[in-house]
Amino acid sequence: MAETEKVNANPEPAKPAAKVTVDATKVDATKYVGTPAVGTSKAAAAAGVSATASSTEIDRRRRRFAWAMVTGFLMAWFLAFFRFFLPRTLFEPNTIFKIGFPSDYALGIDEKWLQQYRIWVDRTPDRLFVIYARCTHLGCTPDWKPAENKFKCPCHGSGYDSEGVNFEGPAPRPMDRARIELAPDGQIVVNTAILYQWPKGQPSHFNDPGAYLTGV
């Protein structure tokens, strides 16, 4: 009993608890998951990165647009400069051309060359001639009306008979006729640079040599 009391009277000193050293550089005391809360330093940093990236992209687009504008201006200026040295010419259709053989045309009005050369080929029982399709009022192109056997100007209503002679509307005189002749190969050659007219109140030139063909 005395021995037990002795042991209890001199107990062993308690061992100190082991110290745990925490490396502050390896531990993030404020670990965020997801988007940082608004108003925190993390959120401010993230916003700064986003704003910088957006600003960079906007600057890049602005530079591309500016270079495109500069390139377009230089190209337009170069084309204008180059065009200055080119001859200023107008390309017009030939005034002298062939329209086939007389046997290709039946009695009446043929419109096959109207779009290309602005002419009608008119064949009557005794002659063949070419009417230049231009109204003598203000220069519009009349329409051929087969059902009415006349030409009618769509602009101001001038009317011409099947030989191009005016009979109604404001047209002052008949439509002109183009020079016509036979080529050595037998084809009809038309020259719209030479026109035969019938001026108002004056003799007609429709019977002049070159204004028509006969015996074809």
Examine the pLDDT at 88 and tell me if it is beyond 90. Answer: no
Confidence of residue 5 (pLDDT cuts 50, 70, 90): very low
Between CA 189 and CA 192, with CA 190 as vertex, the angle to 5 degrees is 155
- Predicted confidence at residue 21, as pLDDT, reads 52
State the pTM of this model.
0.59
* Average pLDDT over every residue of 20-35: 49
* Average pLDDT over every residue of 1-26: 49
For 124, phi and psi rounded to 5 degrees?
Answer: -110, 175
Tens of pLDDT, residue by residue over 146-174, are: 999 999 999 999 999 999 999 999 999 99
Determine the Cα–Cα distance for residues 181 and 112; give it in Å rounded to an integer.
19
Examine the pLDDT at 19 and tell me if it is beyond 90. Answer: no
3-state helix, strand, coil in the chain (%, to 5): 25, 20, 55
CATH code of 96-196, in short, is 2.102.10.10
Examine the pLDDT at 87 and tell me if it is beyond 70. Answer: no
Report yes or no: 109 and 163 within 8 Å, Cβ to Cβ: no
Determine the Cα–Cα distance for residues 200 and 216; give it in Å rounded to an integer.
30
Confidence of residue 13 (pLDDT cuts 50, 70, 90): low
Q: Which helix (H) or strand (E) holds 115?
A: helix 114-117
3-state secondary structure of 7: helix
Q: In the Cβ-directed half-sphere of 206, how many Cα atoms lie within 13 Å? A: 20
Instruction: Report the chain's terminal Cα–Cα distance, integer Å.
Output: 165
Report yes or no: 104 and 167 within 8 Å, Cβ to Cβ: no
Examine the pLDDT at 85 and tell me if it is beyond 70. Answer: no
